Amino acid sequence: MTRFSSALAIAEAIRTGKKSAVSTIQETLNTLRTQDNDIRCVTHIFESEALEQAQKIDAMRQAGHTLPPLAGVPFGVKDLFDIAGHVTTAGSIVLRNMPPAQKDAAIVQRLKAAGAIPVATLNMDEFAYGFATVNAHYGTTRNPHDPARMAGGSSGGSAAAVAAGFLPFTLGSDTNGSIRIPASLCGVWGLKPTFGRLPRAGAYPFSASLDVVGSFASSLDDLITTFYVMDGSSPAPEPAADTLRVARLGGWFASNLAPALGAALDRVCASLQATNTIELPEVASARAASFLITAAEGGNLHLPRLRKQAEEYDPATRDRLIAGALLPSSTYLQTQRFRNWFRQKIHEVFQNTDVLIAPAVMGEAPLLDEPTIMVDGKPVSARANLGLFTQPLSLPGLPVLCLPLKNTGTLPLGLQLVAAPGREAALFSIARALKNSGLAGCVPLPEKELA
């Protein structure tokens, strides 16, 4: 597999006999073994199972059977998705003695039914609690564009594997930005679908009120195709981009932007003729509410294990989970009431707007040895604040597509496209228009970067 081969191109090559599924998987496994030392995105490789599935696909073709749409395409999963026969560790050693999963996660089952082949689990922040993929147990995942910088998190291994060209698409999860932040920092396409649209069965939970499963891809077409496979539905017609009402989010979402990102936002809005700016109400409170719900639900989920295995948790994860478990129930209930109010206000916005544009992260990936970003003119912790623009938009359960911007400099920058629940097709239409105009798309790494 050549770097940045798309999933659809790989499937076509196998379907037409230009390549075998077995050779494709062998090349992928070799790449993961030999080129991941500097990136550290892989935690476990499924060699025997992947090759067995590839052999079945080749046998189907040789027998003259019609191959499924993603036949022979390799992909990786964030280390919180169940893979039958393997222990799901969720980026931690706490679960290492649990029984192996009895079956694949629901969306993995659907992808495998379409012929795609899971080849590896990918690194993450422990129990998905973080924005950096700095993992005390499995190491730090580095940004393929500059290994001295963060890949983002908590699905950092998944984003980095696509950015490095190891895999054409990967699975992740997003609670407060865990797909959108690493997609932005690593310069790949990422999708957080509508809350509840894709089944979460077989994905280790964090926050039941906010968790969403989704994906990363090196091309928009791969992102769209794999989404509909995971959704179990036929692709919906994309509305014409010039018929959609597009607006820019202002206020909170117009502050603390790197100059290059601000200029890119201006170019995007000009291309889409998006002259309207909308300010959402109580955005700071929405961010706080998203944080509090996550902390309370995550803390209470882990409390039984914390009482028995606290020393096995990463201290940074453990302390935040304990703090969340100690939050008063009255605070949690008040926060959920605010969430309902904020969701209603967002739905009112979409009565007159189809797609909103916002930054994903305020700038380029922070350095790992200087993990700070500038907020309101002051250096603050990157790990705590990379979700400045993603957390408020998590609260109402909206679909959000993170697209990689082109021609912004040497390091990636990303935007969020936001729509009303169930309107992923509108996001795909606007993303396609920006890709066709040359404003969006993955930028391949120079070969020397991963030599």
Q: Would you name the residues annotated as active-site residues?
A: 78, 154, 178
Measured at the alpha carbon of residue 448, what is the angle toward residues 447 and 450, in degrees to the nearest 5? 80
Which of 222, 88, 153, 196 has its CA nearest to residue 365?
A: 153
Percent composition of the chain: helix, strand, coil (DSSP 3-state, to 5) = 40, 20, 40
- H/E element holding 150? strand 146-150
Pairwise CA distance, residues 169 & 183, whole Å: 12
Distance CA 190, CA 344 (A): 26
Please say whether the dihedral angle defined by the alpha carbons of residues 77, 434, 249 and 132, taken in this order, is positive or negative.
positive
The reply to whether omega before 154 is within 30° of 0 (cis) is: yes
C-alpha–C-alpha distance, residues 374 and 364, integer Å: 11
Tokens representing 158 are 């998944």
Q: How far does the chain reach from its first CA to its final CA, in angstroms?
A: 16
DSSP string of 160-193, one letter each residue: HHHHTTS-SEEEEEESSSTTHHHHHHHT-EEEE-
Note the Cα 282 to chain centre separation in Å: 26
Map tokens 């079956």 to a residue. Answer: 103
Rounded Cα–Cα distance for residues 400 and 364 (Å): 20
- β-pair partners for 374: 379
